Amino acid sequence: MTDIEGPEDGRLERAILELLDRRGPAATICPSDAARAAYAGDDDGWRALMEPVRRAARRLAAAGEVEITQGGRPVEPAEARGPIRIRRAR
């Protein structure tokens, strides 16, 4: 697994940031929210975007724009296992 950017990665990063902009400063989103927002279809094809969204969130975390949380607490992106949430960096 790598964090090298592909053609859809900018779109996924924008989806994350746009969703967070629509919510309160302390609000979080699930990666599936961004995957659904970025997916153009009306079926469950958004599921294929889950790992690319998680990678996009890791890049945004490295840039200091977001935090990845588990159980309401920030975690190191590389150490996150299982369900995560994404929020604006504090």
For 3-28, write each residue's pLDDT tens digit.
Answer: 455 667 799 999 999 999 999 888 99
Tell me, what's the pLDDT at 9? 77
Distance between CA atoms of residues 20 and 36, nearest Å: 14
Task: Specify the pTM.
Answer: 0.88
- Residue 9, class by beta-carbon neighbours within 10 Å (0-12 exposed, 13-18 middle, 19+ buried)? middle
